[in-house]
């Protein structure tokens, strides 16, 4: 293929992927693959300017307005910024070097001051405020013309409908609508419970929500927003720096990320890039890099723009968290509740800093919706601690039976009729998305997972009884139920692989200690489907003793806070199984005990209705311990600071949550004050 034909092919290919990404909200290739094609076309056009055409993707931001929404012409174009794909420190040095050259700075001149911030992975939005009132919201579109999505954007609660303070006559705010990881996981969990299709990833969730034609549907999807720049402004004496602009936006009541800094020169950029990379997986939202901007607005104006990008800004990426690889097999995993989860066994691929060999397909419906088959080339995504998942199939690369491509080589996925571990029948309850093995504790997979869960730190907390040891004990028929743990002897344990007599003695001591527990921990340890730590604690507080819980019908169970029909049915189903009740009685006979009390009404607890946020390291309390103490008194521990937060408990190295609390005027207390509050020596 000659260079002209290659350029034409690249233009067509990039146009196809732009349409899939921006218009259909269905990315067809990973970002890293798109960037590679884009850079190749840029290089060809740089060497052969005569091949650059008016429709080249290098001259445009990309994407088109959807016809279902009114078009909005941006008063100030929403241009994209250059991407620096060199993920090493040299990428930051290269940008700083270009800025210094464009400013004609001498080698011994002072470092350039930059504003460094995050590159959010969502959907770019322009908010237009007139006289302090939100009158219009629009997507980026092709940079010149976008889609009006005002009704949907109004459903994002973080976006103020009216500005605070001394605002300009006209203020256009650019920012990112996004879906946080916790909101994404919670939304998908609800979708799967209803047997509905989950979202592919948070970015698609944000884009799809904004583009819902029915604002009521958009409101059901939890979106957030961060402001990061300006469009048109009138009647405003603008700050002199970009960081000053963001500070001003925050005073107007707009959400601005606290993960930003003003740094000096390339070394400051490098340090910021490294610092964010260290905490990237801990963020509650997805980013795919950081952004550097010359802080002085006067210098920004002096530097100006090249064809489609400002010279004064760059996006510095991190290693891709999406990659393409091949599906070598599809197998099933059996969870502790019998859930059958199809898993794609992959040709090893490096994604997000680790080598990935497996990716979840969630359930049969999801695997068939994505139409993942053996032999397919797929896009795999990994973000933070989230289990890697298959995002989509690259259909152009699907293996076919013949050269004409009429029939795929492999059939669509279908769930097994019998459990791959124990051979019991697999059933899919009506209205549920998940199929389950009916074997219960007869199934070794469920047995292993049930015992591992029982011994886990937040359950019975049996130190040393981990996955590998449980595998051996179940495989050797030493453990069949959790009650068997309390019948273990030194010889049986010491004879296991890699277990010495001292290790066996330590394990038995940990088992003995675990006999003294709490009712809440015991209920959680039983592994009842849909019963997590908080629900177990509510059940313990409500009923006061185990016998009352065992005797409760579904109506009585639904009187417990946050227990609805589904959870009540799960509890009743578990307790109606004779073998489960038998295990409970065996555990009590083995000496597992807790202090029982009278049923406790939540509205009588001293911290009922109070919301706490923990940040930093407390000197004498672990985070789980502090959370448990607060919840035992009726309080709630949230992961982020909002206007509904009553207290922020701050320890050493408290970060953005402390700053947010101070900004909102929320009470900030230390560990000693928390202990006083829990001891009722102070009152809110």
Selection from 316, 312, 311, 310 nearest residue 80 by Cα: 310
Beta carbons of 560 and 538 less than 8 angstroms apart = yes
The span from the first CA to the last CA of the chain, in angstroms, equals: 74
**3-state secondary structure at position 13:** helix
For residues 30 and 394, give the distance between their C-alpha atoms in angstroms, rounded to a whole number: 10
Scored b (16 or more CB within 10 A) or e, 89-114 reads: bebbbbbbeebbebeeeeeeeeebbb
DSSP state of 453: H
Selection from 274, 286, 193, 207 nearest residue 27 by Cα: 207
Mark residue 544 as left, alpha or beta (left: phi above 0; alpha: psi -120 to 50; beta: remaining). left
Collect all residues with Cβ–Cβ distance below 8 Å to 180 and sequence separation of at least 6. Answer: 202, 222, 224, 284, 285
Beta carbons of 439 and 446 less than 8 angstroms apart = yes
Collect all residues with Cβ–Cβ distance below 8 Å to 293 and sequence separation of at least 6. Answer: 114, 115, 116, 117, 242, 300, 312, 313
Query: CB under 8 Å, gap of 24 or more: what pairs does 410-416 form?
Result: 410/373, 410/374, 410/375, 410/376, 411/373, 412/368, 412/371, 412/373, 413/330, 413/342, 413/361, 413/364, 413/367, 413/368, 413/372, 413/373, 414/364, 414/368, 415/332, 415/340, 415/342, 415/364, 416/332, 416/340
Residue 119 annotated among the catalytic residues of the structure: yes
For residues 263 and 113, give the distance between their C-alpha atoms in angstroms, rounded to a whole number: 6
Catalytic residue among 119, 293, 317, 448: 119
For residues 80 and 229, give the distance between their C-alpha atoms in angstroms, rounded to a whole number: 12
Residues annotated as catalytic (active site), given as ranges: 119
């Amino acid at each position: 293929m000659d260079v002209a034909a290659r350029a034409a092919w690249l233009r067509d290919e990039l146009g196809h992927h732009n349409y899939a990404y921006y218009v259909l909200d269905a990315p067809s290739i990973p970002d890293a693959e798109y960037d590679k094609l884009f850079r190749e076309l840029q290089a060809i056009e740089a060497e052969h300017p005569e091949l650059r055409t008016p429709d080249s993707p290098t001259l445009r931001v990309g994407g088109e307005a959807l016809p279902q929404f009114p078009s909005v012409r941006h008063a100030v174009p929403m241009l994209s910024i250059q991407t620096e794909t060199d993920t090493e420190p040299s990428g930051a040095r290269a940008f700083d070097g270009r800025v210094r050259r464009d400013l004609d700075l001498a080698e011994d001149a002072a470092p350039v001051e930059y504003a460094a911030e995050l590159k959010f992975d969502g959907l770019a939005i322009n908010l237009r405020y007139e006289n302090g009132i939100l009158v219009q919201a629009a997507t980026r579109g092709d940079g010149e013309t976008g889609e009006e999505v005002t009704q949907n954007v109004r459903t994002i609660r973080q976006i103020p409908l009216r500005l605070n303070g001394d605002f300009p006559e006209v203020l256009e705010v650019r920012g990112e609508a996004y879906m946080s990881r916790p909101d994404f996981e919670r939304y998908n969990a609800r979708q799967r419970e209803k047997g509905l299709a989950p979202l592919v990833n948070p970015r698609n969730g944000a884009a799809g929500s904004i583009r819902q034609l029915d604002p009521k549907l958009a409101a059901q999807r939890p979106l957030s927003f961060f402001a990061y720049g300006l469009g048109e402004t009138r009647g405003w004496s603008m700050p002199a720096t970009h960081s000053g602009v963001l500070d001003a936006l925050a005073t107007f009541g707009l959400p601005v990320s606290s993960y930003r800094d003003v740094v000096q020169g390339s070394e400051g950029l490098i340090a910021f890039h490294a610092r964010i990379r260290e905490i990237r997986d801990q963020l509650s939202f997805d980013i795919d890099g950081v952004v550097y901007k010359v802080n002085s607005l006067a210098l920004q104006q002096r530097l100006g723009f090249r064809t489609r990008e400002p010279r004064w800004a760059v996006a510095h990426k991190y290693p891709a968290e999406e990659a393409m690889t091949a599906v070598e097999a599809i197998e099933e995993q059996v969870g502790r509740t019998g859930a059958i989860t199809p898993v794609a066994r992959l040709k090893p691929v490096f994604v997000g800093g680790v080598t990935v060999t497996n990716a979840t397909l969630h359930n049969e419906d999801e695997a068939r919706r994505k139409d993942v088959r053996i032999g397919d080339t797929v896009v795999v995504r990994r973000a933070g601690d989230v289990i890697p998942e298959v995002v989509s199939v690259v259909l152009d690369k699907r293996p076919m039976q013949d050269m004409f491509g009429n029939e795929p080589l492999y059939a669509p996925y279908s769930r097994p009729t019998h459990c791959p571990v124990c051979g019991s029948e697999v059933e899919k309850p009506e209205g549920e998305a998940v199929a389950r093995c009916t074997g219960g504790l007869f199934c070794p997979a469920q047995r292993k997972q049930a015992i591992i869960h029982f011994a886990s730190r937040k359950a019975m907390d049996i130190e040393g009884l981990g996955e590998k040891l449980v595998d051996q004990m179940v495989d050797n028929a030493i453990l069949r139920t959790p009650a068997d743990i309390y019948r273990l002897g030194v010889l049986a344990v010491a004879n296991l692989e890699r277990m010495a007599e001292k290790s066996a003695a330590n394990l038995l001591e940990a088992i003995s200690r675990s006999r003294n527990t709490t009712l809440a921990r015991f209920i959680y340890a039983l592994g009842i489907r849909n019963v997590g730590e908080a629900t177990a604690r509510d059940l313990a507080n409500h009923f006061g003793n185990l016998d009352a819980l065992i005797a409760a019908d579904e109506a009585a169970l639904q009187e417990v806070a946050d227990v609805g029909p589904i959870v009540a049915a799960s509890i009743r189903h578990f307790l109606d199984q004779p073998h489960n009740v038998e295990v409970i009685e065996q555990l009590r006979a083995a000496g597992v005990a807790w202090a029982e009390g009278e049923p406790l009404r939540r509205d009588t607890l001293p911290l009922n209705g109070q919301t706490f946020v923990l940040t930093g390291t407390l000197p004498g309390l672990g985070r789980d311990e502090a959370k448990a103490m607060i919840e035992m008194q009726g309080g709630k521990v949230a992961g982020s600071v909002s206007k509904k937060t009553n207290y922020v408990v701050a320890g050493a190295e408290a970060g953005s949550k402390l700053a947010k609390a101070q900004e909102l005027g929320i009470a900030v207390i230390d560990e000693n004050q928390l202990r006083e509050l829990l001891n009722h020596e102070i009152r809110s």
